[in-house]
Structure 1
Amino acid sequence: MRRSFTVALERYGYEMKAAADGLTGLELFREQSFDLLILDVMLPGLDGIGLCRRVRETSLVPVLMMSARGDGLDVVAGLEAGADDYVVKPVDTYVLVARIRSLLRRATYAPAVSTEQAAVEGPPPPDEGQVLVFGDLTVDTGGLEVSVAGEPVALTPTELKLLLEFAAHPGIVLERHTLLRNVWEYGWDGDSRVVDLCVQRLRGKLGRDRIETVRGFGYKLRR
């Protein structure tokens, strides 16, 4: 499967590096610069979830998790570890490429992540150059910088784009399917757990009460 995906994605123009186990993958990650990581949950040695946690200790690089289980346990664990999105095996190549393209577009929002993938262009940040203030939370949509009480906050590309979506609609309830469409670029009703867990990670970085849950509807950023 590793070989087949490598060949298939190279045909789409991507430069690939593959590792047969988690420890080798971690070594590759530390030696080279990558625009995106695809991690299989069931890696020998160091599994994909453990590898994702190790990556998140030093990097905001987009991470796509691949799981063979549809019961949600691997999905939740991977997203909690810091993954940006996931696919469930078996997965068609065109679905995998769609998720990759979406993640790379999201990565253009984050200056800490390489954006040299010129073939995959993303839209400019909304309200470029505007500095938005919500209490002690400051969001610079031009400089793509976020701070709380004057202290900078490091966000993954997905977390940053999600926050920009909230900041563009302060006090407005955003439904999960709207966030899936605008942030994850799902053209269908995707798994809302990716939204819930990304909001959970945002709350951990910005403050528990910053984003309010409106039960039965979605979330809103407190003014």
Structure 2
Amino acid sequence: MLASVVSASASERQVKVPPSDELLIIDPKMDPQRRPTPEFVEDEFGNQRIEIPPTVIVHRYYYTGNREFQGPMLPGGPTVIVINSPHSGEQISLNVNLLPGAPRVIYRRNSIRYDYGDRYIDVDFGLADSCTPEVHYGQKSELLRSVREEAKSFQATNRAVVQQTGFRSSMSKLKEHTKKSFMSAAGYMNQMGSGVVTQTGQFMDSLWVPPGVNPDPAPARGIVDGLEATAETVR
């Protein structure tokens, strides 16, 4: 039955479907709290051991292009992922340990990510048919979270200032806020090393900036100079 579901789905891989239809969840036996019920089995020596039946997740339409959607609530724990290889179309079954919760599911040409916010699980198919799929478990760094928060704060302050054109003091406050934001990020960079500069630049690339301000991820001094130039045009 499972093979027929995946096989039928493969012929419709170009069909765009709603996120609710992307995944087929086959739950094992559940207790009243919707947790997998342990099973007691005997090994070849007659000893009893406990096994937790895995949840089965079928990615019915991967690969349907780069997309991202909110996944359903999953019990976590031992899980079997059934999917068609993006290279050969061959059915693949992978054993993973998922976190409990409702992750965002991110499709890319060579990978699937289950994003839980500060942690993630990647299924990497490699770049060729000969590559063996790999599962990677990771945690997002404190630095990136800090820079992301500072970037959002900077963006919100920047918008507010432009909407309040005519108030010199607002530009001064924005300049001071920018200094503090980048000093905070710089503290993390000093601890983590210069290798994070490129990642910081990627976050800053997405910021909305007023006319006259250079959007290039420059040091705080350069951004402050740009804001001062904008203040002159607003007066």
**TM-score normalised per structure 2:** 0.28
More relative contact order in 1 or in 2 (CA 8 Å, sep 6+)? 1
Larger radius of gyration: 2
**TM-score normalised per structure 1:** 0.29
Counting strand residues as a fraction of each chain, which structure ranks higher?
Answer: 2
